Structure 1
Amino acid sequence: MSRQDVSIPTPDGDARAFAFTPDEGRGPWPAVIMFMDAPAIRPALFEMAQRLASHGYYVLLPDMFWRVGPYEPVNLKEAFKDDESRRAFFGKFMSSTNPEKSMRDVRAFLDWLSDQPKARADNVGVTGYCMGGGIAFRAAGTYPDRIAAAAAFHPGNLATDAEDSPHLLAPYIKARVLVAGGDEDRSFDDAQKDRLAQALRVAGVKSEVTIYRGARHGYAPPDMPVYDREASERHWREMVALFDATLRQNQPA
């Protein structure tokens, strides 16, 4: 695994992150930021970032909970064993960030990628899982001139009645967008799917918004209790196709 642990300056302090490159070649490679899900940084995400890198990408996996300080990888069985454990874990981590903080972080990540000689960061791809899907979508609407492709897998609350609902950013997005929700997910149901698809369509954004039927929220990471191999492999095919179509157009031969 070609992982490099890095520290990225942000307006609020230094964020820890992890950079992955293909095992062969010298680059530069098109850059992609992979935004984690709520269970935080752990070995399964390292494996996923390296798998994406193996397709010819420079992948940055930032710790969006860096403000909490150092922590050990989450024991998913303990974190999900009951409602009390779930509230204790997610309350601590989720309270350390919010949309405003995460977008400040994203700006710092984009600037950092621009300084990396092995990364082609003129047009960046972003992808995310669960809460990371929302971050990826917001990033596409907040930094439209930097982000050429955005993917979100089993995301939540992308198209709600909230004043800051992510779907309201659709008119600003220039990226090609892929959103694939989980089935029977109250945080991204058919009504939200339709609202999001309509917002992107009206804004003229080239996009695909769907729900993987039969796959539950959390289907993609291999360590999740609801991991769905078929749905996860589908997400890999569609995500890589999205990035290949948008980030390699001007890549030197």
Structure 2
Amino acid sequence: MAEPPSGAQNTTFPSNGGQAHGYLALPPEGRGPGLVVVQEWWGLTTHMTSMVDRFAAEGFLTLAPDLYGGATTHDREEAALLLKQLPVDQAVRDLRGAVDFLLGHPALIGDAVAVVGFCMGGAFALRLAAQEGDKVAAVVPFYGLPREPDYDYRGLTAHVLGHYAEHDHGLPVAQVDEAAIRIGEATDRRPEIHFYPAGHAFMNDENLNGTYDPLQARIAWRRTLSFLRGHLG
């Protein structure tokens, strides 16, 4: 069974005509560029909140929306069920609410935000960037793509940095290459894609697949920070 709410929620924001919840962390300086972090299919776990804290420590005003309403799990079958039960349109609307929340936050520096997503969140990050246009200046998907092979990226104006695993059985290299071509054709913007000699979820030190790779995680982390700072200031 999915675990009860973890207590990670610490903020609310308008979405879908109601209220959505998430975990927000401010940078030490009190102000910074905005960043939305999109969860994996496990929910808003301690790994996700630690990622938010890490980005905030690097100077970003960082928010991770809680797409599962507080439920988390470390069971693959339960995670698959939670994802199946999550309406894509609802999740994207909640994420769009998160973007607007950051854009209106008094601690924000700049007039656009970035989005970083992991696995399921990587797919949602690309969807969000395509729907939000100039509101998203940069998007960083980790080992995730929209499920539709012919997904329409024409609304995407953000710079794209993708991190993918060479040994990801669920997301072949050829599929990533094809998506990169589609993004380039649809947007006239060439995405920056990196492949790592690792397995799926190599950034997640809590993942049960045993694929966490601290060296590749450090490389991807440094590339991500450099990319975000280059496009958000």
TM-score range, shorter chain: 0.7 to 0.9
Show the counterpart of 1:88: 78
Larger-gyration structure (1/2): 1
Show the counterpart of 2:48: 45
Match of 2:134, SS state, is coil
Show the counterpart of 1:210: 194
1:42-72 deviation digits (Å, cap 9, x = unpaired): 1121111111111110000111112xxx43x
C-alpha distance in 2 between matches for 1:4 and 1:158: 28
RMSD over equivalenced CA pairs, Å: 2.0
**Counterparts in 2 of 1:65 and 1:4: CA distance versus 1, 3 Å:** closer
Q: CA deviation at 1:158?
A: 5.4
Paired residue total = 223
Q: CA deviation at 1:240?
A: 0.6
Conservation of the 8 A alpha-carbon contact between 1:48 and 1:221: no
What is the TM-score normalised by the length of structure 2? 0.88
Please, which runs of 5 or more residues in structure 1 have no aligned partner? 80-85, 249-253
C-alpha distance in 2 between matches for 1:10 and 1:102: 10
1:196-243 deviation digits (Å, cap 9, x = unpaired): 121122231142123212x11111122113211011111111111111
C-alpha distance in 2 between matches for 1:64 and 1:99: 10
Conservation of the 8 A alpha-carbon contact between 1:140 and 1:150: yes
1:134-162 deviation digits (Å, cap 9, x = unpaired): 0111111111120000001111455625x
Whichever residue aligns with residue 29 of structure 2, its letter is G
Match of 2:23, SS state, is strand
1:148-177 deviation digits (Å, cap 9, x = unpaired): 00001111455625xxx3xx21x3211100
Match of 2:10, SS state, is strand
Within 5 A, what are the aligned runs for 1:42-81?
A: 42-66=45-69, 70-71=70-71, 73-74=72-73, 76=74, 79=75
C-alpha distance in 1 between matches for 2:195 and 2:17: 36
C-alpha distance in 1 between matches for 2:147 and 2:141: 10
Show the counterpart of 1:129: 118
C-alpha distance in 2 between matches for 1:111 and 1:234: 31
Q: CA deviation at 1:26?
A: 2.6
Whichever residue aligns with residue 43 of structure 1, its letter is T
C-alpha distance in 1 between matches for 2:59 and 2:92: 26
> How much identity, in percent, do the aligned residues show?
24
Within 5 A, what are the aligned runs for 1:134-145?
A: 134-145=123-134
